[in-house]
Amino acid sequence: MSTGEALEREIVDLARRAREAARETARLGRRAKDAWLLRAAERLEAERDAVLDANRRDLAAAREKGLTPPMVARLDLDGGRWRDMIAGLREVAALDDPVGEVTRMWVRPNGLRVGRMRIPLGVIGIIYESRPNVTVDAAALCVKAGNAVVLRGGSEAIHSNVALGAALRAAARDVGVPEDAIAVVPHTDRAAIDVLLRQDRYVDLIIPRGGPALIRKVNETSTIPVIKHDAGVCHVYLDASADPEMAVAIVRDSKIRQMSVCNGLETLLAHRAAARTALPLVLKALREEGVELRGCPETCALCPDAVPAGEADWGTEYLDKILAVRVVDDLDAAVAHIQRYGSDHTEVIVTSDYASAQRFLREVGSSVVGVNCSTAFSDGQRLGLGAEIGISTSRLHAYGPMGLESLTTQKFVLYGEGQLRE
C-alpha cells in the first residue's frame, strides 16, 4: 500500500468513526456533555506542562521558519490565552443545552400542532490555521451541541493540536463520552485535507478558518457544504458628527488592544468634516502607539509620517501595527468603500447623528455592524454566546459569531390526535 493510500484510508476511517460517535453524542443529555467539558478542563490543567512543552516546539519551529511576529503570536498558548481556553470550557458547560429546544409552536386549523426543534448537525469538520486554542474551543462547542468534530489544524501547530486533542479524548474516556467525537487529524500532509473534503458520506459541514488561500481551496475542493470564516478586513467610519474623544478611544481599542485577531481594525474611514475635527487626534494617538499609517493624499497631508496607500492596502488584513486610512466625501462613500473592499466581517460607525447611525446599520451588510463601540465586540463571548466556533462570513445557515445554536439545525415536530390528510 502506498503512502497516499494509507493516508486516505486513515482519514476515511477517522471520519467514519466520527459519524458513529455523532449518533451517540446526539443522544447525550446535558449532564454527560457538561461532565466531559469540566473533566477536559481538569485534564488540561493537570497536563499543562506537557501541552506547553509541545507548544514551545511549535513556536521554535515557527521562528526558525521565519513566520511573522503576528503569526507566531497566534500560536502561543501560554499566559492569558491558556487561562481563557480553560475558562471557556467551564463557560460552555454553564450554557444551556440547545439540543431538544422547541423554538416555535403553532396550531393548524385541524388541531395539528407544529413545532421546530433544535437537533445536532452531525459531524463537523474544522480546518484552521495557527491558533491551537481553536482545537479546544471548537471541540467544546461542537460536542455541547451534540455533534462530533474532526479537527485539522495547521502544520505550524501540529504538536500543540495533537497534545490538546489527546487530553480532550482522554477526558471523554474518563466520563463515558465517545472519544471519537473528538478527532484530530495527526498529519501535516495537505493531502489529508483533500481526502477529508471528499467525505460527504460521513461529514455534514466544513468550517474553514484562515487566510484567503485556505478558504479558496476549501470552497473549490469540498463536496461538503462550507461555512466560511474569512479574513477580517474591519472598518471604523468617523461620521461628520463623531465625538473626537470617543473616536480616539474606539479606534485605539479596535486597533491596539489585540492586533493578531480577525476583529481588529484594518481600515479607518473619515468624513471630510471629521478630517478637520476627530481624525487629527486619532492619527496622533495612533502614531504615539507606533502604528504605521498608510493613507490617502488627505491623510498624508494631515500626518506627514503616513505612507501613501496603494490600491492593495484597502483590502488587506494586516494583523499588525499597520492601518489604512482614507478620507471620504460622506456616508454614501464610506458604505461604497466597505462594500468594495470589506470582507463581510465587522464595521462600526462613530457618530452623534441618529439618522446616520440607522442608515449605516441598514445599508452595511456585514455580519456584525455597530454604532459607537469597538470592533472587538465582534466576538461570541462578548456578545453573550459563550465561546464561538468562529465568525461566519457566509450568509447561509449562520452569519457572524457562531455559538452553540449555530451548530444545530431545526426539524419539524408534529403533535396530532389522529388527524388524517384526506
Within a 13 Å sphere around the CA of 408, how many CA atoms are in the beta-carbon half?
24
Q: What is the mean pLDDT of residues 96-107?
A: 97
d(C-alpha 310, C-alpha 18), whole Å: 47
d(C-alpha 242, C-alpha 239), whole Å: 5
**71 confidence band (pLDDT: 50, 70, 90):** confident
Q: What is the mean pLDDT of residues 210-237?
A: 91
> Could you report the per-residue pLDDT of 360-401, keeping only the tens digit for each?
999 999 999 999 999 999 988 788 876 778 899 888 889 999
> Could you report the per-residue pLDDT of 336-354, keeping only the tens digit for each?
999 999 999 999 999 999 9
Q: What pTM does this model have?
A: 0.86
Q: From residue 292, how far is each of 308, 319, 336 by CA, in Å?
A: 11, 12, 25
**9 confidence band (pLDDT: 50, 70, 90):** very high
Average pLDDT, the chain: 95
**pLDDT score at 230:** 78
Q: Do 166 and 122 meet the contact criterion of CB atoms below 8 Å apart?
A: no
**pLDDT score at 388:** 79
**191 confidence band (pLDDT: 50, 70, 90):** very high
**111 confidence band (pLDDT: 50, 70, 90):** very high
d(C-alpha 116, C-alpha 118), whole Å: 7
d(C-alpha 349, C-alpha 352), whole Å: 10
**pLDDT score at 213:** 87
Asked whether the predicted pLDDT for residue 130 surpasses 90, the reply is: no
Q: Do 235 and 319 meet the contact criterion of CB atoms below 8 Å apart?
A: no
Asked whether the predicted pLDDT for residue 1 surpasses 80, the reply is: no
**pLDDT score at 405:** 94
> Could you report the per-residue pLDDT of 198-219, keeping only the tens digit for each?
999 999 999 998 878 888 999 9
**pLDDT score at 74:** 87
